[in-house]
Structure 1
Amino acid sequence: MKIVDEFFGCDVFGPAAMQRYLPHAIYKQMIDVMEHGKELPKEIADTVANAMKDWAMDKGATHYTHWFQPMTGITAEKHDAFINPTGPNSVISDFRGKELIKGEPDASSFPSGGLRATFEARGYTAWDPTSFAFVKEKTLYIPTLFCSYDGSSLDKKTPLLRSIDALDKAAVRLLNLMGYHTKKITITVGPEQEYFLIDENLFKQRLDLMVTGRTLFGAPPVKGQELDDHYFGNIDERVKAYMEEVDQELWKLGVFAKTEHKEVAPCQFELAPVFSSVNSANDQNQITMDVLKRVARHHGFVCLLHEKPFEGVNGSGKHNNWSFSTDSHENLLEPGDDPKDNIRFLTILAAIIKGVDEYQDLLRLSVASAGNDHRLGANEAPPAIISIYLGDELTAILEAIEQGKEYVENTNRKLELGVSALPPISKDSTDRNRTSPFAFTGNKFEFRMLGSALNISCPNTILNTIVAEELTQFADELENYAPEQRTEHVISMIQKTLKEHKRILFSGNGYSEEWRQEAKKRGLQELKTTADALPHYTAPKNLAMFEKHKVYSANELHARENILLENYYQVVLIEARTMAYMLRKLILPAVFEYEAKLATIIQTKKASGINSPLEEKILFNINEPLEFVSNHLETLENLIEKVPASEKEKAQYAADELLPLMEAIRTLTDSIEQNIPKDFWPLPDYNDLLFKSVQ
């Protein structure tokens, strides 16, 4: 068996490969670009491109692709061969700097939200030299940005890079005003990826799973997650083999895959990486989702990344663990041994509290999708209300600061286990609150609202930008004071911030109805659906902030809002069409067939003078909801044909008209399923999907 150290990152054009294939001087320039953000000298592009090609071809690659992240929510790629004709029957392998730096895919077929007309097809991909190229399936993948002819962003990666610059600039400025000599900050993220594994043969028998990623019908299984016996349970042999191959593939691609385990629901699992820089983490999470899906087929599985594939059991999320540190590797969210005396930590913390409160709508919309709406607030994920959890000690410290009192520690830092052979162990200063959407977990914030299929660039772009805004405001205020007065004023700024924004702090049960009522009293927003959340993109305060920090232009924000609203409507519409098709073509014919059989049995018994109360009861239990299903189905088909005018109207129509009716149809159909024998029901049921898949 190969040792991981010996092959980790072997398919990545990273520092080791660069050092081997590039002249030393150019290698040093590339390292400066990647590690220090210096601009890539154009004159070295041909040399870098040729070295990258030679390395990739030595790995067996025949093609290259500019790999980008358009507004579709998935990655995109167009493959070109490393060949140029030299005659009527000959070629040479060739790859130039201009081909590395810029590509030109047809932009007309990607969503633009009105940034360009359909007939204006020109779009550009631009190499991101801060993210490593890699080889996968005989193709060199070059991470790139994607923009329109006028330079407007058409992707998710460009705003993320802009937000990194914005937070770096704001944090460095404030820290230096406070007397900390800082040249650069690095934002790190660790996204914990949840997913389901379903048997491929069963998957292919469920049109709803194949088309929409979730089951549109399904009566509850005989056993769900009631016994809490799946979480951290023993990993089945077939799944273990799958996980081992996933690890091997990810390690070769330089992904720091670290932790894997069973999750709460049957057939649900999690893969968590070691933290890395946010741009790298974003690319690596896209790679991870691709590898999870691709390798699943090798083992007879299908990997489901939908946020809520099964009704009645937990859905899948992607916890986004976010922090940032200085160029001397000091974590700015590390409280230290004495948090009350750590003025730098408390200043950063106050800025985050202020930002989350003022821009709670942006954080909510950053995780908004049709799939995630089914998960949020369902007693398995945080509610659609933004709040911050800090833990008992930090909360007490902040309360003392706000009130101008001395904090007296009363936290027992030792955990007595009650076993004589074991010594007391140290206890963290903060517990974990799994019901909180934005929880401090010791040296980072865990943003827990993300859905499993989400590209993490959007929530991190927004988080970076709102913190940059608050740090900028603090710096603007601090500049008005002499250096010797700044520490005292920082404390007063922290006190003022806590008094004005403490409503966002909550340590209780975020799943409870009491919290929803309390949040309403505090003036916190509850944006329940994607249709409610997305229009906040272009609220005046949000437009102003993004333009101020040059993360989005007004046109780019309006475009994103339109794209995502249209996507939400189309996703729900496709689900509605799929539901109607499955009812007409699969479910209703099966029900009619069984009803006919029951009726024949009843008539036969009646002719023989035998009563049939059981058969009649079953027939009644089927036919009563069936009449409602028939009526609702006709209504649904009529609603599908209506097309509202604007993107906002479409999204609201999907949320208010289509989804409630679909939920009613599902409830009725699921009750019918419970009265139909298994050999008559045309779909694999939840017992099949959740308990036969991993055997």
Structure 2
Amino acid sequence: MARQRFDALRLVEERKPVNITPPSSKVSDYFGENTFGPSIMKEQLSSDIFNRLQNAIHRGERIDENVADAVATSLKAWAISKGVTHYTHWFQPLTGSTAEKHDAFFELSSDGLAIERFKGSALVRQEPDASSFPSGGLRQTFEARGYTAWDPTSPAFIIESGSGKTLCIPTIFVSYTGESLDNKAPLLKALEQVDKAATSVCQIFDRSIEKVQASLGCEQEFFLIDRALADARPDILLTGRTLFGRTPPKGQQLDDHYFGSIPSRVTRFLQELEIESYKLGIPIKTRHNEVAPSQFEVAPIFEEVNVANDHNVLLMDLMKKVASRHNFRVLFHEKPFQGMNGSGKHNNWSLITDKGRNLLQPSTKAKENLIFITFFINILKAVYDNADLLRASIASASNDFRLGANEAPPAIISAFIGTQLYDILTELEHNGDIKVKKGDNIYMKLGISKIPPILLDNTDRNRTSPFAFTGNKFEFRAVGSNSNNARAMTVLNTAVANQLDLFKKEVDKLIEQDEKKEVAIIDILRSYIPSVKKIIFEGNGYGDEWVKEAKRRGLSNLMDTPRALSVLKKPATSRLFKRMKIMTQAEVDARHEIRLQNYIMKMQIESRVMADLALNHIAPTAIRYQTMLIENVRGLKDIGLEDQTEETMITIQKVAKHLNQVKKLANDMTQERKRINNIENVEEKAIAYCDDVKEKYFEELRWHVDKLETMIDDEMWPLPKYRELLFLR
């Protein structure tokens, strides 16, 4: 094993940056060239078909057979002209990754000749075998049938792999009986509901607004590790993180990596990643070093949420392929290195009208600020009412290692809004009753005109807040780097849509009672502020004082995934999803079971890998080193230098102490895992894996192994060390 480590180190020293040549010096020359987007559709389709397709995309109108056939014909011709030989329905099952089944663009005619054919029916729907995808009890294993259905709101794209090209058609994935088996279908429903609810509220102020679109900008953090070094670490290969590893003397404490000069090999990787992304219409705008050594971030321009999510999932897959060509391995695990910053996927979310107005953009105009404050307070109310559900949406075995650590938001869901906006809420809360006569300046009476101009950067940023207002958007920072955004975005948009619906009904009721519209709005908003303030926290979310204060406020602090997911069993959760037509009770229950099973399997794998490394790699190395020291002591005694053996004997004893603990803990953990595997109830089993395996053994076993790493001869240590993984270029 030590030989593999040093062979890997020699390979790293020989690495040379891969030369990258962009297709053009101007991104605009090739941006979206592998995407069947609006501009290409307009060229390929008749004006009638194009307009009908756009109506389906933007207004939700049904796509009939003629439109589907016309689109399929044009799509096939465009794809074949670019060298495509196969097509696939690209979907996002509940495994957490993407899935695809490739079919060739040909059929056999009656006389046995091969012809290129792609019908509208093949575009709209396919029937992949669904038996091996998780369903959470929605169907039996022998019930294999599932359907993928075309999502026209997300453009088809071409993936290049080696010398082959495949046309990918974004789709939803449902069971034979119609239940959603993916992350996309609930997201599309949530986006439709937030559009309807937000548009309805907007029309209180402006009747011309006909549509509101949720937008998302997703910052993606990740680590890049040399592939040879990663391959020499079974824990990285099998779990995505280092289960053992001593923090090096120099880590990130000098903050010299953050926004520093990007290493040349990494620069080439990022250049190729951007080129391939631009071809697929993924608008990457930013790249930079992150806080931890070998940690980086890329961020795109904002897009509609569904497209942004598809692009992020596609980007992660693309990053793995490009990284391989540059002899890197990309790590998306939220906490791959202990003692170093973890990685998030910061979801920057806002609402945009069809008139181009950002509803979360403050203004200097009183009327526009009332619209802003209306949406601002309603969103905060939605977060307060659904805090536990939002926490569940970002829960995972890997994100548990990050949340609450020294660089990530805590597991307590709170919001940061800044002192200026907090003062505005306080003013509205205590403004008292307002009586308005005809002809009065309504905004002056409301005190709205006294609100100072709210600047775009009206507040400093708070890195410790899970849900922070950052000037003209909310940043959901607690989402993990390895997750699918669709889960968090489904919950957030559903919660906001539900709250806007309730708000509109309350306002309409007061207006029916002859209350002036603006006064009704303020009265309702004022009633929300006391509860909204419970989740607002402007201080250090990492501090112990916040944990105590959150408990006093009645906020949940769900530190692990099994307990965080328990909210999915609550009747209020089912009522919310049912009322908003997002998921049925069966679909919610299925997701609860699937995610618990996923947690169990992740903890089971990590425990098994940890025991294997401890017993089959670390322990034998420690024994060899111990034997070497014993031989040294024996040799010293043989030549009469017994008085020189004291320090070595102490080292032998320390090695023996840690070695014995490593073997004992690994064996005890294995026995505990066997016991837990006999538990039939999935929730009880997940909690047992959390409490009786992860919490009881992981850290203690790691501590003893890491102690051995500091004691054993460097030439003998089998695993690449942190200083090698993180600092070698």
Q: Is the 8 A contact 1:123 1:147 kept in 2?
A: yes
Residues 179 and 339 (structure 1), Cα distance of their counterparts in 2 relative to 1, 3 Å cut: closer
Any idea what the Cα deviations from partners look like across 1:123-161, whole Å, max 9, x if unmatched? 000000111000012000000000001100000000000
Give the 3-state SS of the residue equivalent to 1:107 in structure 2.
Answer: coil
Q: Secondary structure of 2:174's match?
A: strand
Structure 1 residue 500 displacement after superposition: 2.9
Q: Which residue of 1 aligns with 2:652?
A: 619
CA spacing shift, 1:70–1:12, aligned 2, 3 Å: same
SS in 1 for 2:618: helix
Partner of 2:691: 656
Kindly tell me: are residues 223 and 338 of structure 1, through their superposed partners in 2, closer, same or farther at Cα, counting changes over 3 Å? Answer: farther
Q: Please give the root-mean-square deviation of Cα atoms over the aligned residues, in Å.
A: 1.7
1:37 shift after superposition: 2.7
Cα offsets for 1:412-438 (capped at 9, x unmatched): 99xxxxxxxxxxxx8821211111110
**Does the C-alpha gap of structure 1 residues 264 and 339 become closer, same or farther in structure 2, counting only changes over 3 Å?**
farther
TM-score (norm 2): 0.91
Q: Shift of residue 88 of structure 1?
A: 7.3
Moved more, 534-543 or 509-518: 534-543
Q: 1:45 Cα shift?
A: 1.3
- What residue is the counterpart of 2:289 in the other structure? 262
1:78 aligns with 2:101: yes
Q: Name the amino acid aligned to 2:524.
A: M
Alpha-carbon distance in 1 for matches of 2:607, 2:138: 29
Deviations 1:67-100 (A, max 9, x none): 0000000000011111112367631111111111
Correspondence for 2:604 among 547, 562, 573: 573
Matching of residues 105-504 of structure 1 within 5 Å: 105-137=128-160, 138-337=165-364, 342-404=369-431, 428-480=457-509, 481-482=511-512, 485-504=516-535
Partner of 2:113 in structure 1? Answer: 90
Higher mean C-alpha deviation, range 604-613 or range 532-541: 604-613
Tell me which moved more, 529-538 or 33-42.
Answer: 33-42
| CA deviation after TM superposition for structure 1 residue 410, in Å | 10
**Equivalent residue for 1:31?**
54
Q: Tell me the residue number matched to 1:52.
A: 75
Looking at structure 1, the residues matched to 45 and 501 of structure 2 have their Cα atoms a distance apart, in angstroms, of 40
Shift of the alpha carbon at 1:408? 10
The one-letter amino acid paired with 1:219 is R
Show the counterpart of 1:417: none
**SS in structure 1 of the partner of residue 218 of structure 2:** strand
SS in structure 1 at match of 2:711: coil
State the SS of the aligned residue for 1:108: coil
Match of 1:678 among 707, 714, 720: 714
- Residues 1:23 and 1:523: Cα distance change in structure 2 (over 3 Å): same
Supply the distance in 2 between the matched residues of 1:180 and 1:516 (Cα, whole angstroms). 45
- Measured in 2, the distance between the counterparts of 1:440 and 1:320 equals 12
Provide the rounded CA distance (Å) in 2 between the counterparts of 1:186 and 1:411: 28
TM-score (structure 1 length as normaliser): 0.96
Letter in 1 for 2:685: K
Shift in alpha-carbon separation, 1:407–1:132, aligned structure 2, 3 A: closer
Does structure 2 conserve the Cα–Cα contact (< 8 Å) formed by 1:382 and 1:435?
A: yes
Flag structure 2 segments of 5+ consecutive residues without an equivalent.
1-21, 433-446
Among 665, 677, 681, the residue aligned to 1:646: 681
- CA gap of 1:649–1:631, structure 2 versus 1, over 3 A, is same
Change (3 A) 1:588 1:595: same
Partner residue, 1:550: 581
Match of 2:635 among 590, 595, 604: 604
Amino acid at match of 1:667: W
Identity of paired residues, percent? 45
Q: Distance in 1 between matches of 2:248 and 2:320?
A: 25
Say if 2:31 and 2:279, in contact at 8 Å, map to a contact too.
Answer: yes
Superposed displacement of residue 533, structure 1: 0.5
Task: For residue 655 of structure 2, give the secondary structure of its aligned residue in structure 1.
Answer: helix
Any idea what SS the aligned residue of 2:534 has? helix
Tell whether the 8 Å contact from 2:269 to 2:326 is kept in structure 1 after alignment: yes
Report the residue type matching 1:685 in the other structure: K
Task: Name whichever of 664-673 and 480-489 sits farther off.
Answer: 480-489
Q: Conserved in 2, the CA contact under 8 Å of 1:430 and 1:441?
A: yes
For 2:450 and 2:699, the matched residues in 1 are separated by 51
> Take 1:561 and 1:502, find their aligned partners in 2: how far apart are those partners?
30
1:479 partner SS:
helix
Residue 419 of structure 1: aligned partner: none
Q: What does the per-residue CA deviation read over 1:332-365, in whole Å, with 9 as the maximum and x for residues that have no partner?
A: 1111125797211111111111111111001101
* Paired residue secondary structure (1:400): helix
Between the aligned partners of 1:330 and 1:20, the Cα distance in structure 2 is: 30
Q: Distance in 2 between matches of 1:621 and 1:181?
A: 77
Task: Check if 1:13 corresponds to 2:36.
Answer: yes
Q: 1:92, 1:412 → 2: CA distance?
A: 65
- Distance in structure 1 (CA, Å) of the matches to 2:310 and 2:377: 30
Contact 2:53 2:67 in 1 (8 A): no
Distance (Å, rounded) in 1 between the aligned partners of 2:159 and 2:113: 27
The answer as to 2:92 corresponding to 1:61 is no
Amino acid at match of 2:417: L
**Does the C-alpha gap of structure 1 residues 27 and 106 become closer, same or farther in structure 2, counting only changes over 3 Å?**
same
Task: Quote the Cα distance in structure 2 between the aligned partners of 1:130 and 1:178.
Answer: 28
Amino acid at match of 1:458: R
> Which one is further off, 123-132 or 478-487?
478-487
Other-structure match for 1:516: 547
- Give distance in 2, aligned partners of 1:79 and 1:566: 29
Give deviations 1:610-662, integer Å, cap 9, x for gaps: 12123222222211122111111111111222212111012101110110212
Rounded to whole Å, the distance in 2 between the matches of 1:100 and 1:648 is 40
Listed as ranges, the gaps of 5+ residues in structure 1 are 414-425
1:118: how far off?
0.7
- In structure 2, what is the Cα distance between the partners aligned to 1:627 and 1:592? 10
5 Å-filtered alignment, 1:627-642, equals 627-642=660-675
Could you give the per-residue CA deviations for residues 45-76 of structure 1, whole angstroms, max 9, x where no partner exists?
Answer: 11211111111111111000000000000000
Question: What amino acid is the match of 2:43?
Answer: R
